[in-house]
Amino acid sequence: MEITFQQLKKEAESQGFPIVGIVKPHYFTDLKEKLVKYVKEGYTFEFNKKNIEEKCDPFLTMKSCKTIIVLGLPYYIESSEENEMIPKEKLFRGRLARIAWGEDYHQVFQRRMKNLGELLQKENPDIRYQSYVDTGPLVDRFLASKAGLGFYGYNNLFYHLQYGSFVFYGYMLIDQEIDYREIDDQVEKIQLHYQDFCSNCDRCIKACPGKAIEKPYRLNASRCVSGVLQKKGILSDEEKSIISDGIYGCDVCQDVCPYNKDIEFSYEPAFIPTDPPAYPDLVELLGLSNKEFKKMYGNNACAWRGSRVLKRNALIVLGHSGNQKALPYILPFTENAREDLRDAACWAVKKIKKHIAE
């Protein structure tokens, strides 16, 4: 039995996916040109430099693929709810970007895509599928664009028409065709209407802490705070200087964007932060053993980077506080066996002492 797009949309929504689109699989020549250019110029994240052919050719992942289903989960929580999440009783708090609020979105996605796949197979046992989110071979946001779900902003983020840039994307490759005609018309209309939607606005460019958005649609990944916070090892003084209170991720360019001011909010319970909270206690984080870190952060999207990177970031944030009351928590790390933690702690101590002297 053939599946119509409306049937697919209904089934996907029943599994908790309010955003659904489809793409006809083919070799994405336009993506190849962009990736090669970005890699050559050094303007991309490390993960985009690998396996470029796989990113552009869905048939290398699934030879029998006939349709790519694009799925999205919005994760922006209303500001009034966010304010209630900011604890007042602790002095030293860091910040997790919204991408790391609540349960790890990879887990949420995989669970729901598995349920959707089983539902499709129940109606058509011959269907075969493969599902991916974020770490898959193809580029999620590029597929969302091809599916006509929105447009790219000056900050290089993808904007869904209803939910703005605060959306997680995943996709499923299936070996059955779905009628693309309705989607093709939609894609063309969106591309025409939003082809330069950000013109006359440069708020994200001005607000970026690392000045990573050097010009419209040009992101210098080496200066993006989100990327810097994920790096392992010792950060340069310049990299440390662009970190403020974040220990994982950065939402600045999204928070200042006018388009995001009128988006629909998400009421997804899975993305409401509990443990860890949206604003983690830095002193507590620094004192966690690996076992305790895994218990508190293990189901969070930031956990993959491990406690060492987050502790290094926490030390840098304490340094930026300029508060001498932070010194007792920092000083023990100046003699830590791990060079990256020791370096961050020494930098933080100097930063605070300089602030006091001024």
Q: Report, as residue numbers or ranges, the catalytic residues.
A: 134
Count helices and strands in the chain by DSSP H and E runs: 16, 10
Contacts 24+ apart (CB under 8 A), 55-58: 55/28, 55/31, 55/137, 55/138, 55/139, 56/27, 56/28, 56/29, 56/31, 56/32, 57/27, 57/28, 58/25, 58/26, 58/138, 58/173
Name residue 172's beta-bridge partners: 69, 131
Exposure string of 99-109, with b = 16+ CB inside 10 Å and e = fewer, is: bbbbbbbbebb
Alpha-carbon torsion angle 170, 153, 256, 17, nearest 10? -20
How many CB atoms sit inside 10 A of residue 228's CB? 24
**3-class DSSP state of 132:** strand
Task: Say how far apart CA 191 and CA 93 lie, in whole Å.
Answer: 42
Q: What six digits make up the tokens of 62?
A: 């699934």
